[in-house]
Structure 1
Amino acid sequence: MQVSRELQALHRQALEDIAVVQSDDLSEITAWIKGPEQTPYEGGYFKVKLVLGSDYPNAPPKGYFITKIFHPNVSKTGEVCVNTLKKDWKKELGITHVLLTIKCLLIVPNPESALNEEAGRLLLEKYDDYAKHAKLITSIHARMGKSEYEACLKSRQADCTSSSTSSASYPQIPKAKSVLTASPTNVLSDKNNDNPSIHNDKADPGIENTSRKRSASTELDKLREKKKVDASKKTLK
């Protein structure tokens, strides 16, 4: 189903300042939008809902602000008016595009298609009054959504981490043979190392260490003896 695929894509690659609420109901998509900086909505967290009809994606979803907001393109009942959700809709656009469009409305409102006439008029004629009123409504109604917004982000991160871990394929790494690591003189090759305790993975650590020391000492004695013999041969020559 297209909606399911779109939501999976959203969880894999999150949108900046947008957190989608996980739900089994694919007919309604709920998300939190963080108020953009340097706008009257900065510091606010707005809950929005997209209602998808049975004819989606051939017909656009309907968008609503659940959190109260003072905005030209949002009616007092929360309905969102944007061309993307009406005459400019194309089935290729999808949920991601709609959420980004709604976020952009918080940055650049469109007073020409205003559902809130008061907000549209103030935006055009008295921007300072518009911004002041929008900030006031934001501070009263949109501040409390921060915890839910952050909870959605953490939930998504946890799901992504879990999914990544469970789907990862780890190669089987063979156990390394026990090799003494020190100066080159006490690194024993497989050819010279005949002590089975060194390669016994199930051996007790204490016994294994003792065996290694004894083996190393024996090998060093053999090397010293070999050097003495070589020296004697040179002297005889």
Structure 2
Amino acid sequence: GKLKRADSHRQRGAATAAPAQPPSASALPSWGSGFLSTPSSSSPRACPQSALLLRRQLAELNKNPVEGFSAGLIDDNDLYRWEVLIIGPPDTLYEGGVFKAHLTFPKDYPLRPPKMKFITEIWHPNVDKNGDVCISILHEPGEDKYGYEKPEERWLPIHTVETIMISVISMLADPNGDSPANVDAAKEWREDRNGEFKRKVARCVRKSQETAFE
């Protein structure tokens, strides 16, 4: 599914910048606010509390965009499926990238976390090869049966889309090599960070610039 306003973004992007000149993090809110779509009044069949909360968070992000990412609905009639665009953090290997991902919320949100999946190819220790993001904040609440995470590091109902995205941007800047979802990427990050790992990330960044508004 593609956001209905993708075509206008492609036209604006083509007029203002070549593929090698992706939007900067500081420029993101200006086009990000237009990227947000507002759900129609004939909303999806859902738990009213979760739907109301998601609608409120979407409106807040539309009103007060957060630097570094933009978010909107994949389908105007489905509050439970969001698309986000993340700008690679400055001064990291991911700088200049424009990475697309989907957030899928459970009907009992915020009691349980959403799932997050990168649609744009990305090479990162905490993103598996299918694009699924594996970080503590997105893990089911409660005790970690393996003892790696404290309960307060896992999902809590106080978290929002904004806190999730801030955690993901932090993950891009500072991968967790101790609990990898992509073992090969984690090994390269530890042993050959400025060699093979850097080359693979650079390729993903270039590809993301070419496909950001498709």
TM-score, normalisation: structure 2 = 0.65
Tell me if 1:70 matches 2:136: no
Supply the distance in 1 between the matched residues of 2:72 and 2:53 (Cα, whole angstroms): 18
Supply the distance in 2 between the matched residues of 1:99 and 1:28 (Cα, whole angstroms): 15
| Alpha-carbon contact 1:21-1:32 (below 8 Å) kept | no
| Distance apart, 1:11 and its partner CA | 0.7
**Map of 1:17 onto structure 2:** 68
**Map of 1:109 onto structure 2:** 175
**Map of 2:158 onto structure 1:** 92
Runs of 4+ in 1 over 4 A off after TM superposition: 145-148
Largest Rg, 1 or 2: 1
| Distance apart, 1:40 and its partner CA | 1.5
| Distance apart, 1:127 and its partner CA | 1.2
Q: Secondary structure at the match of 2:99?
A: strand
**Map of 1:121 onto structure 2:** 187
**Equivalent of 2:100 in 40, 47, 58:** 47
Supply the distance in 1 between the matched residues of 2:209 and 2:166 (Cα, whole angstroms): 21
Spell out, residue by residue over 1:186-219, the C-alpha distance to the aligned partner (whole angstroms, 9 max, x if none). xxxxxxxxxxxxxxxxxxxxxxxxxxxxxxxxxx
**Equivalent of 1:58 in 103, 111, 118:** 111
Q: Which runs of 5+ in 1 are unaligned?
A: 149-237
**Map of 1:38 onto structure 2:** 91
RMSD (CA atoms): 1.4
| Distance apart, 1:54 and its partner CA | 1.0
Supply the distance in 1 between the matched residues of 2:95 and 2:130 (Cα, whole angstroms): 22
- Judge which range, 19-28 or 77-86, deviates more: 19-28
Spell out, residue by residue over 1:106-130, the C-alpha distance to the aligned partner (whole angstroms, 9 max, x if none). 1111111211111101111121121
| Alpha-carbon contact 2:100-2:212 (below 8 Å) kept | no
| Distance apart, 1:131 and its partner CA | 1.7
Supply the distance in 2 between the matched residues of 1:44 and 1:14 (Cα, whole angstroms): 19
Q: Considering Cα pairs closer than 8 Å and 6+ residues apart, tell me whether 1 or 2 has the greater RCO.
A: 2
| Distance apart, 1:132 and its partner CA | 2.2
The structure in which a higher percent of residues are helix is: 1
Q: How many residues align?
A: 147
| Distance apart, 1:145 and its partner CA | 4.2
